[in-house]
Amino acid sequence: MSKIFRGIKNILKNIILLFPKGHVLLEKIVELRNGSNPPGQTAKYTNLTPKELFTNYYHENFWANPETVSGGGSTLEYTENIRREIPKLLEEYKILKILDAPCGDFHWFRKMELPAQVEYIGGDIVDELIRQNQSRYSNDRTAFISLDIINEVLPQADLWMCRDCLFHFSYADIFKTLDNFLRSDIEYIFTSVHTNCTKNFDIVTGGARLLNLELPPFNLCKPVLYVEDWTPDTPVKKIKKMGLWTRSMIADSLVSRAK
């Protein structure tokens, strides 16, 4: 019966994709589908580890996007602005090695022209994605590693890009991830923020909600800079930016919170 259901679901998915902007409609359907359980997460996944959870999302193409298994926020259209801005940022802050984790399927990042001296490390908790990326895209300046950013030691880099990730984590896992960053030798973290979100709330890891790291319970200071990371198709309430913080800025903010 489950095979029949999956077959019907795939047929409906393909029909929706025939419509103009069908992928946008499909993303909204996925959001509505997930909203009745712990925000953005289906009940059958609530007892899984993050590795099991996101591996299942990969196998099921959970984000239901026809262009990339990483979801609608990783299409070439959606990433047009940050693909222009990231090379400028790397030049301005003299970044020689970037850690991109989670890197997903490397769909959009591979389209960028990085400065010639920059090395790239892509990390992801889904082992199959890493094997696939390593086979397809690795070279003398590009490598991929299996990495659990919540618990495992981060590799040496000058900047860590943690895009479209923390808003899928519980409060506890966000704090663990930030603490993990503070234990690393990485100088900068470049991560997603919904600056027009006026109140944060907790979720089960694997779900999704708007997240503003400048608000409680995180209370981060203003970042060094923000880069716009949204498209005209993005609902106004979900306008998203990438914020750049130094390790010392994160440390000072979290120390102030603890007092």
CB count, 10 Å around CB of 66? 15
What is the per-residue pLDDT across 143-194, written as a single tens digit (0 to 9) for each? 999 999 999 999 999 999 999 999 999 999 999 999 999 999 999 999 999 9
Helix or strand run (H / E) with residue 124? strand 119-124
Contacts of 129 (CB under 8 A, 6+ apart): 58, 69, 103, 104, 105
Helix or strand run (H / E) with residue 142? strand 142-146
Q: Which residue has the tokens 């400028």?
A: 88
- What superfamily would CATH give domain 1-259? Vaccinia Virus protein VP39 (3.40.50.150)
CB count, 10 Å around CB of 57? 20
CA dihedral 86, 89, 91, 96 (to 10 degrees): -80
What is the per-residue pLDDT across 196-244, written as a single tens digit (0 to 9) for each? 999 999 999 998 899 999 999 999 999 999 999 998 888 777 889 999 9
Mean pLDDT rounded to a whole number for the chain: 86
Band of residue 37 on the pLDDT scale cut at 50, 70, 90: very low
Q: Where are the domains of the chain?
A: 1-259
Distance separating alpha carbons of residues 14 and 192, to the nearest angstrom:
30
Report the sign of the C-alpha dihedral through residues 255, 207, 190, 55, in that order.
positive
> What pTM was computed for the model?
0.83
Q: Which residue has the tokens 């994605």?
A: 129
As a whole number, mean pLDDT of residues 240-254 equals 96
What is the per-residue pLDDT across 96-110, written as a single tens digit (0 to 9) for each? 999 999 999 999 999
Q: What is the pLDDT of residue 26?
A: 47
